[in-house]
A and B are shown apart, each in its own frame.
Chain A
Amino acid sequence: MRTGPCPWETGNPSRPVTPSAPPSPPKPWLWRTLTSIRLTVFLLLILAAVAVVGTLLPQDQPAAQYVARYGETLGSLLWVLGLSRIYYSPWFLLPVFLLALNILACLVHGLPQAMRRSRQRLDWDTARTLPERGRFNCPPGADPRPRVAQVLRRELGRPRALSFPDQEVFLFERGRFRPLGPYVVHLALLLVLAGGLIGKFWSIEGQLTLPVGEEARAFRVGQHKEVPLPFQVRLDSFQVKFYEEGGMPKEFRSDLTFFQDGQEAARAICRVNEPVTFGGLTFYQASYGTQPAGPVRLKVQHGGVSETVDAPLRRPVDLPGGAAQVMAFRVEGDLQGYGPAVQLALRLGPGHPLVFWAFQNHPELEEKDLPYRIYPESIPFKYYSVLQVKRDPGVWWVYAGFLLFLPGFYLAFLRPPQRWAVVLEKAEKGAWQGRLLGTSPRGREEFQARQERVLAQLKKGAAP
């Protein structure tokens, strides 16, 4: 079933690691399967397919939704099979688990050899077997060694010089640690998965809805569960700012004070993209809203008569004359940057009421063509801020994995191994003959370009 050396290697090493290793007994079937890249490819494509299903089916809906949408049979089948929470169901988690096992097995299987290979420095025994790339002659007289060393240093890097009775050797290698690259990348991936798993079991996530001026001792997890906070937090103020009237929101800001054992412990500003951490819990600005803080006072003009009316929320109030009723049913602290506003329903007779917004600071935005002119004089309100509250010890594992990806990619993809050797041999009458040896199992094109440059330099440097 398996083809090629597991794992993650294509180019053969320039020489076998253990030249005279005894043939190892064939591995059991399970181990061969677990360390096979065929399994990896299969699992990756399965995961992709399952993820596609997850984006086409609505996720996390109540069972009734699926029945309503897909019919009795199919809808309940989707629900029973766990396709409504596909990323948390065996459909997805089993392949992930197998992939983790696959990666782990490949790490165990191949890492020791990769480490052995990256410990092996290029020595003369290996270098002499490298394929020859070109020759050059050095005339008698000048010592060619400094020139050769200089060319190599300029074109490749600092070479290592070895002296033998009748030949001088310069060795250079790059990307010796390349074999470790894929292992680092896959280890990083395992760390990320481990972080996800840790988060699954030990993270806590909830919401805190906090009106301005009030103090919280607990937050809500899920629909009903209240979890006590190990401290108290107070929302001192909440602000929403707009770029301009009728424009985009610019900033949502909650000013928080934390209390530990009744003592003020810290003050912090929480904005979107600027979470606040206290006592091991992190608070994120998630949402906000306005709640009324008393009846709305309306100035009503009708037929030259002006009168003030107090309208408590969601309670119809008779307008002067008794022919119409008004009801305030929603207030906003700042509607699209136009300041405080109240949503009113005006009932003029039988039939549907008229629903419109009235602005405290913008009488010119009034609803036109009404028999009544209604201006809010005061809209008492109070903001509340909705904060996401979270603790996830898995995040650090995930981040560690992220960081580890960087050296992993660098080693695996950006450092193609190259091995070079220049051999100078004494020829007749004090002249020298040079040979350039080298190989690069990956990145052959780059190697070839460099080889031509080095050879040209060596020939030029060696000419009289």
Chain B
Amino acid sequence: MTSLLLGVVMLAYLAVGLLFLMGELWSSPRLKSAALTLFWAGLGAHTAALLGRWVESYQLAALHSPPAGWADILQLVVFQAPLSNFYESLVFFSWCLPALGLLSFRRYLAGYLGAVVAILACLLLAYASLWVDSRIKPLMPALKSNWLLIHVVTAFLGYAAFALAFGTALLYLATERRPRASLPPAAQLDRLLYRATIFGFILLTLGILTGAVWAETAWGRYWSWDPKETWSLITWLIYASLLHARLLKGWQGRRIAWLAVLGFMAVLFTYFGVSFLLSGLHSYLT
């Protein structure tokens, strides 16, 4: 049921991307507002699918160990948040993109940027539905922790904000090369890039901190130089250098945009590359 719904959501995001593009190319406000409406509808359905999966996951767990009392139920609800394997994390990542865009960066989410966000969300969902095992599996002991929810939520919201900064950086580099009336002015893109990066940086930091606290309770070590940890640190260092480089003369604009592109490459490697190419403590994600 939820996978069917997610298929529909994926098509909706694809349509949103195309509508944004067409609206921009033909400068049609009607198409643009249609895109925005459909985007909201897609996000609503996506949210419903996430919640549906949460309920399914909870019911499965309750079958194995029936909860006794409210505290138990609450604990099980938190444990069974649909964030415990690669498929679920992909679905959540693709949810974060439109959610963040529509809720926190509403004013900017139109035209090409809207299209980039929608297409990225669509691609993530397509990857999840077509190539990743979507079965709900019971939770392994290492993942039974209250930190799972907050760790994954902060990390992926951070990733989504960086994706937004990445899209903005691409647009910035495009406008810088050849200014176009259809693209937002460079100064505005620069500001948006900065804001999205700050958002992502705060959330990535929180993701790393919660991960460290969790690692301390689970493995007795808040930092073990596991490849995932190390790559999240590399990502963090790149974005930290971006935030500081903005204070330097001669570093605004294009260099910042390239740092945002580099940073997002690091994000992608942290998420995908580490899981597939390097082995480590986070390998249960695959």
Contacts and interface: CB of A to CB of B under 8 A. Distances in A.
Contacts of A271: 141
B141 A272 contact: yes
Given A282-B220, A284-B220, A3 B230 contact: no
B244 A250 contact: no
Contact of A44 (B144, B209, B237): B237
B183 interface: no
A202 B209 CA distance: 22
Interface in A101-119: none
Contacts of A282: 220
A8 B142 contact: no
Given A4-B247, A388-B219, A48 B205 contact: no
A38 interface: yes
A399 interface: yes
A275 B219 CA distance: 9
A423 interface: no
A252 B234 CA distance: 34
Most buried by A among B191, B238, B246, B247: B247
A41 interface: yes
B133 interface: no
Given A55-B227, A273-B141, A275-B217, A10 B246 contact: yes
Interface string A28-47: 00000000011011001101
Contacts of B231: 55
Interface stretch (A156-164, A241-249, A368-376): A241-249
Interface residues of A, number: 47
Given A284-B219, A395-B216, A413-B202, A4 B248 contact: yes
Given A250-B64, A272-B141, A37 B222 contact: no
A385 to B, nearest CB: 13
Interface in B198-232: 198, 202, 205-206, 209, 212-213, 216-223, 225, 227, 230-231
A205 B221 CA distance: 10
B278 interface: yes
B202 A8 contact: no
Given A45-B237, A87-B225, A402-B209, A55 B278 contact: yes
Interface string A384-399: 0000101000010011
A4 B249 contact: yes
Contact of B220 (A55, A59, A390): A390
Nearest to B143: A273
A282 B223 CA distance: 16
A44 B244 contact: yes
Interface in A388-442: 388, 390, 395, 398-399, 402, 405, 409, 413
B212 A402 contact: yes
B94 to A, nearest CB: 26
B140 interface: yes
Nearest to B263: A48
Contacts of B142: 272-273
Contact of B138 (A41, A44, A247): A247
Contact of B248 (A3, A248, A273): A3
A51 B234 contact: yes
B45 to A, nearest CB: 31
Given A3-B249, A55-B278, A248-B137, A44 B216 contact: no
Interface string B243-266: 011111111000000000000001
A52 interface: yes
A289 interface: no
B73 interface: no
A54 interface: yes
A364 interface: no
6 contacts: A48-B234, A48-B266, A55-B278, A252-B141, A272-B218, A388-B220
Interface of A: 3-4, 8-10, 37-38, 40-41, 44-45, 47-48, 51-52, 54-55, 59, 87, 196, 205, 243-244, 247-252, 271-275, 282, 284, 286, 388, 390, 395, 398-399, 402, 405, 409, 413, 445
